[in-house]
Amino acid sequence: MELRKLTEALTILDSEHQKVLDEYERLEDDNEHGEAVMLLAKFFKREDLVAKLEHINALHDLYGNLRPELRSLRDEIDFELKPSFLEEFRGYSKEDAEEYVNELRSL
């Protein structure tokens, strides 16, 4: 009986992960990078980052474009969340995820 409950719980978790992954990929494909980062911040329950992203998005809306300094702030949040995302959704090891993000930072 316990094994069945565990299997059901894992199936639900996999389903939730798939929903988040599908939404993340859709947002990235639609060039909605800020919303994709927000999705990750919410998924990982990083309220501090959600608040920062809300401010960045509000300024983006106010200016009508994403100014370079706002883009840098958003990218830093993305880089902070990306290793966890790669581990959780892509099966990367912690070391590989960090190496990948460091390569992105150098671009």
Q: Note the pLDDT tens digit of each residue in 37-71.
A: 999 999 999 999 999 999 999 999 999 999 999 99
Q: What percent of the chain has pLDDT over 70?
A: 87
Radius of gyration of the chain (CA): 16
Average pLDDT over residues 78-106: 87
Average pLDDT over residues 2-13: 50
Whole-model pTM? 0.79
The number of beta carbons lying within 10 Å of the beta carbon of residue 89 is 16
- Domain of 28 in residue numbering reads as 2-105
The count of domains in the chain is: 1
How far is residue 3's CA from residue 80's CA, in Å, rounded to a whole number? 35
